[in-house]
């Protein structure tokens, strides 16, 4: 019987929906907006939002022209339009795995093929060597797609790794699609705020996917953007932007206000997630047989569990297990891998809950692993 | 020099952005919404909005289950996801021309090909005979895509035409994509509110594209939906809905309230647009050499002008012409046709302005045609 039918409380660590409050400026701006007609916004985005994003990038030391920013309905539409713009049937995108599973849908929508570059828990999911990356580049390769900081691994690329990837993209003249929606969530203060836009020599190859969703805890606003200085790509993406007319007007008004948020908000958010990471990793270290690398960014963590199959284990947690009327849910690892058979004993934990909830959820995970591995096997269907 | 640089007032009849006020219920609902976190909505749409749409269809005599409705970011995303779900490279979609040019972008994004079915001003842009339609169906045909009431023509299909198209879709087992976003704007009261959903025998072939944009004068909300009872298609579209996570939360709250709008709003809107149509058509009849058919629905009109090329004429109106510091802008006809060379002397007029503005705009068109045709040809570059 499913957990909900059994009346259980489920701790959801399976989705990346932050629980932090959206800055009040979002609602304030939305509630101030009173145009008699809720009309289409300009297809590339409102000038006010584009300017707000340019000012935000300027603080990172990146100078953008208005045409370099195209507002999209979330980072998702940014990824879809980028794929539709640069891929033809049979062309390839190199993606380090494990990766965000929806990338596959966007690449396939454009007729493209994913070429997975393996990374491993043993090396903290850091990227392959230059040789291993270059080995995957073929005449059909159109892009390398990276997430930095990483979802689901929490890996933050070193400056040297970023430079290496940038070099390969430039020398092979392929696009580098950098999904940087978790940019502000880096727990090593010394590393600063990483962005591929810091390498001006790859400006013509670079496409940054960005979003207000995680940065301002405003996932439901569905406001993202594509940042690129490649004129040809700007035109191709703009055609898709025009075909869908515009991004929601009110949400662009709200997002513009969000970009005026005091940077202290980022610092406070980051500190909260860092504490949560520390809670989760401290608890995980106490569970025998669990292997993981401490994530340096975002709010995800991949862990290998001492179970046969995390998909079966998750199903069992929801249908057979309970402790004081509670159970826990995470994301099984296999869907984060393109390579068949990989990730079957891994899970992704999204630490987007309060400290007490995370502590209890981790205790439930520990209890669950123990009970799962000592259950009567004959009963296992 | 461009009209704006010349400081001219331009009457914009080139875009279908209604000027009527959005019902106040939209802002009221949005301003009441105060969840601390602006979170993702469910990928298929909020249950409240889906229920509101089901109640709206029930009033049209159409019974929908919750799974039959998938909320999309405007009718545009509904069209894109439908195309991505049903088309493979090289497959074909039959579209009566002239048609909404963005259809081409959506079909091409999925690797599909448009096969245009000609319709003619002489026969009021009504659809071809069954023989002409069937002649276009090949083994690669996946769908017929219609807009009813029509954009850009304003044609409203007769019950017999609808039945004929439904029969072809069913017998050839291809999808019928019915873009019905202008459904409430039919000026023949006796005809009622047309929808292909009135033919239950094609339920498995039918995909309705719908939207709050025109219905509630809320284009900037970007809330639409796909309505289909085809389970396989529901699953394919849902996969795209999941990949982009959700439609904007606040706009779904606002759209839910819009569906509670008193039907008197539709009656008043329709009456206003009917008067505007009458104003535009009365003025057009007075311009020598202009040919058009009185539109029966939507808020567009295609007209053939006594000029050599409406694209050149439009450019001339913006750069060379003025009357008392004013000029007029419409949409040249050629982009509404797939067939090369067609529509060069046609324009689309969107009558989405107030009566006095429409009267003045039509007078400017008359003056413009006269001046354009008597300009010194030697100066024409």
Instruction: Kindly tell me the number of DSSP H helices and DSSP E strands found in chain A.
Output: 11, 13
Using the Cβ of A254 and the Cβ atoms of chain B, whether some distance falls under 8 Å is answered with yes
CA gap A375, A370 in Å, rounded: 9
Pairing of the two strands A206-211 and A346-350: unpaired
Where is A240: in which H helix or E strand? helix A231-243
CB contact under 8 A, A243 and B111: no
> Does B190 touch chain A if contact means CB atoms closer than 8 Å?
no
pLDDT score, position B137? 97
**Residue B379: what pLDDT?**
53
Q: Do B250 and A221 touch (CB under 8 A)?
A: yes
Q: Do the beta carbons of residue A179 and residue A209 sit within 8 Å?
A: yes
**Residue B170 neighbours by CB distance under 10 Å:** 17
Counting every residue written for chain A, the total comes to: 381
Please indicate whether, in this complex, the C-beta atoms of B21 and A34 are within 8 angstroms of each other: no
A250 close to B (CB below 8 A): yes
> A182 to chain B, minimum CA–CA distance in Å?
16
> Are B21 and A36 inside 8 Å of each other by CB?
yes
A38 touches chain B (CB under 8 A): yes
Mutation for A interface: B22, B34, B36, B38, most A CBs within 10 A: B38
Distance from CA of B301 to the nearest CA of A (A): 21
Contact (Cβ atoms closer than 8 angstroms) between residue A165 and residue A96? no
Looking at per-residue confidence, does B192 or A199 come out higher?
A199
Taking CB atoms and an 8 Å cutoff, what residues of chain B touch A20? 37
Where would I find the beta strands (DSSP E) of chain A? 9-12, 69-72, 92-97, 113-118, 141-147, 175-179, 206-211, 224-228, 291-292, 300-304, 326-329, 331-332, 346-350
CB atoms A21 and B36 under 8 Å: yes
Q: How far is A44 from chain B (nearest CA, A)?
A: 14
Cβ atoms < 10 Å from Cβ of A188: 10
Q: In what order do the strands lie in the sheet with A175-179?
A: A69-72, A224-228, A206-211, A175-179, A141-147, A92-97, A113-118
Asked whether residue A380 carries a pLDDT value surpassing 70, the answer given is: no
Please indicate if any CB of chain A lies within 8 Å of the CB of B40.
yes
Cβ-based contacts of A240 with chain B (< 8 Å): 105, 109
| Structure tokens, A116 | 């997975």
C-alpha A106/C-alpha A147 separation (Å) is 15
pLDDT category at A189 given cuts 50, 70, 90 is confident
* Average pLDDT for runs of 10 along chain B of length 381: 84 90 97 96 98 96 98 98 97 97 97 95 83 96 97 94 96 98 90 90 98 97 98 98 98 98 91 96 96 94 96 96 97 96 96 95 97 79 48
**Closest Cα in chain B to A243:** B102
Give every strand in the sheet of B346-350, ordered side by side: B291-292, B300-304, B346-350, B331-332
- From residue B281, give the alpha-carbon distance in Å to each of B126, B187, B278, B349: 18, 14, 5, 11
* Res. A128: pLDDT tops 90: no
pLDDT at site B188: 86
Query: Can you say whether residue B269 is alpha, beta or left, with left for phi > 0 and alpha for psi between -120 and 50 degrees?
Result: alpha
Band (A37; pLDDT cuts 50, 70, 90): very high
The angle formed by the CA atoms of residues A338, A340 and A343, to the nearest 5 degrees, is 80
The span from the CA of B125 to the CA of A67, in Å, is 39
Q: A80 and B244 in contact by Cβ < 8 A?
A: yes
In whole numbers, what is the pLDDT of chain A averaged over residues?
95
Instruction: State how far the Cα of A96 lies from the Cα of A276, in Å rounded to an integer.
Output: 26
Residue that is written with structure tokens 């007490």 in the block: A356
Contact at 8 Å (CB) between A70 and A80? no
With 80 as the cut, is the pLDDT of residue A1 above it?
A: no
Count of all residues that appear for chain B in the document:
381
CA dihedral A160, A164, A165, A169 (to 10 degrees): 150
Dihedral of the CA atoms B172, B173, B176, B177 (nearest 10)? -130
B31 touches chain A (CB under 8 A): yes
* Contact across the interface for B37 and A19, Cβ inside 8 Å: yes
CA distance B351 to B207: 28
From chain A, the residues in CB contact with B85 under 8 A are none
Structure token digits, residue B357: 């503005």
A84 part of contact set with chain B, CB < 8 Å: yes
Residue A72 in tokens = 């999209």
The pLDDT assigned to A126 comes to: 86
Three-state DSSP at B313 gives: helix
Report d(CA A319, CA A313) in Å as an integer: 10
- Which positions in chain A touch B37 (Cβ < 8 Å)? 17-22, 217-220
What phi, psi does B15 have (nearest 5°)?
Answer: -125, 150
Q: How confident is the model at residue A376 (pLDDT cuts 50, 70, 90)?
A: confident
The mean pLDDT value for A12-36 works out to 94
C-beta neighbour count of B205 within 10 angstroms: 25
Alpha helices (H) along chain B: 24-32, 47-59, 74-86, 102-109, 130-136, 159-172, 231-243, 249-258, 264-285, 310-319, 355-373
Taking residues A285-295, report their average pLDDT: 95
A73 with B248: Cβ contact below 8 A = yes
pLDDT at A15: 86
Report the alpha-carbon distance of residue A295 to residue A166 in Å, rounded. Answer: 23
Q: What is the mean pLDDT of residues A95-112?
A: 97
Nearest neighbour of A38 by CB, restricted to B41, B84, B221: B221
> Residue A379: pLDDT band by 50, 70, 90 thresholds?
low
User: Is B106's CB within 8 Å of A242's CB?
Assistant: no
Contact B22 A38 (CB under 8 A): yes
Chain B CB contacts of A110 under 8 Å are: 109
């Amino acid at each position: 019987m499913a957990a909900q039918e059994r009346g259980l409380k489920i701790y959801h660590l399976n989705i990346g929906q932050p629980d932090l409050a959206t800055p009040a400026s979002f609602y304030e701006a939305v509630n101030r907006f009173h145009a008699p007609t809720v009309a289409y916004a300009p297809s590339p985005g409102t000038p006010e939002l584009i300017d707000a994003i340019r000012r935000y990038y300027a603080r990172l030391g990146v100078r953008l022209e208005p045409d370099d920013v195209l507002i999209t309905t979330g980072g998702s539409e940014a990824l879809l339009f980028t794929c539709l713009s640069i891929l033809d049937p049979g062309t390839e995108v190199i993606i380090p795995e494990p990766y965000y599973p929806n990338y596959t849908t966007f690449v396939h929508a454009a007729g493209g093929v994913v070429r997975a570059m393996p990374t491993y828990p043993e090396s903290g999911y850091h990227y392959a060597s230059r040789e291993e990356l270059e080995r995957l580049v073929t005449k059909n390769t159109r892009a390398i797609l990276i997430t930095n900081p990483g979802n689901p691994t929490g890996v933050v690329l070193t400056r040297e790794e970023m430079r290496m990837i940038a070099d390969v993209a430039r020398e092979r003249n392929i696009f580098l699609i950098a999904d940087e929606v978790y940019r502000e969530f880096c727990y090593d203060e010394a590393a600063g705020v990483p962005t591929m836009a810091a390498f001006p020599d790859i400006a013509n190859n670079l496409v940054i996917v960005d979003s207000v969703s995680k940065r301002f805890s405003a996932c439901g606003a569905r406001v993202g953007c594509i940042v690129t200085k490649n004129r040809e790509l700007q035109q191709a993406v703009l055609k898709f932007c025009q075909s869908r007319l515009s991004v929601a007007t009110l949400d662009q008004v709200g997002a513009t206000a969000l970009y005026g948020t005091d940077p202290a908000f980022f610092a406070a958010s980051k500190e909260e997630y860092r504490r949560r990471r520390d809670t989760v990793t401290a608890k995980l270290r106490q569970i025998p047989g669990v292997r993981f690398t401490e994530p340096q960014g975002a709010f995800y963590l991949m862990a290998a569990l001492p179970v046969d199959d995390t998909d079966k284990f998750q199903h069992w947690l929801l249908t057979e297990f309970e402790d004081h009327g509670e159970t826990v849910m995470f994301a099984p690892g296999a869907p984060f891998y393109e390579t068949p058979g990989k990730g079957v004993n891994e899970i992704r934990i999204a630490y987007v809950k309060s400290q007490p909830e995370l502590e209890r959820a981790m205790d439930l995970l520990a209890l669950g692993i123990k009970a799962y591995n000592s259950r009567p096997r004959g009963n296992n269907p």
